[in-house]
């Protein structure tokens, strides 16, 4: 296993772990843009029609971009989820706790009643397996 492969897997897992938070933040921003659009509608008498239309279009595009971003993140998360489910039970648990919940190796070792060294080995083994799964997935796409 090359270090770059493992680093790429770690990068994707960190992103996977943040998907819910990022999507929630984007949902808040969508709500803010929707409130701004409603405010524009209420204040349309006070604004130039061209400016109003330009601002409304900009807000609608922002909402669309945020929505598409959320959809892309959810597709990414689903893809990683399918790979993680393919791990052994211990490996899956370690990946979910470490990357999904941000738990430390120490906290995971306490929760699973294993030494930190064992958790570290399980984590490294899982990273190797996930890198292999990702390579196989990429090969399927290119065939």
Mean pLDDT for each 10-residue chunk of the chain (143 residues)? 83 95 97 90 71 89 97 96 96 97 97 97 96 85 57
pLDDT value at residue 13? 96
pLDDT value at residue 142? 59
pLDDT value at residue 42? 77
Look at the block and give the residue holding tokens 């669309």: 64
Within 13 Å of residue 41, how many CA atoms lie on the same side as its CB?
7
pLDDT value at residue 61? 97
d(CA 15, CA 99): 9
pLDDT value at residue 141? 60
Within 10 A of 73 (CB to CB), how many other CB atoms are there?
A: 18
Q: Report whether 71 contacts 42 (CB < 8 A).
A: no
Domain limits at 126? Answer: 3-142
The 3-state secondary structure of the chain, one letter per residue = CCHHHHHHHHHHHHHHHHHHHHHHHHHHHHHHHHHHHHHHHHCHHHCCHHHHHHHHHHHHHHHHHHHHHHHHHHHHHHHHHHHHHCCCHHHHHHHHHHHHCCCCHHHHHHHHCCCHHHHHHHHHHHHHHHHHHHHHHHHHHHC
pLDDT value at residue 137? 82
How much is the pTM? 0.82
Instruction: Quote the number of domains for the chain.
Output: 1
């Amino acid at each position: 296993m090359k270090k770059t492969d493992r680093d790429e897997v770690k990068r994707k897992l960190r992103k996977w772990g943040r998907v819910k938070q990022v999507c929630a933040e984007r949902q808040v921003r969508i709500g803010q843009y929707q409130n701004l659009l409603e405010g524009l509608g209420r204040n349309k008498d006070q604004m130039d029609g061209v400016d109003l239309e330009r601002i409304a279009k900009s807000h609608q595009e922002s909402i669309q971009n945020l929505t598409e971003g959320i959809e892309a993140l959810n597709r990414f998360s689903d893809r990683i989820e399918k790979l993680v489910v393919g791990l052994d039970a211990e490996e899956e648990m370690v990946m979910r706790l470490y990357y999904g919940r941000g738990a430390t190796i120490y906290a995971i070792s306490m929760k699973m009643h294993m030494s930190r060294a064992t958790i570290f080995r399980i984590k490294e083994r899982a990273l190797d397996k996930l890198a292999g799964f990702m390579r196989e997935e990429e090969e399927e796409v290119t065939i």
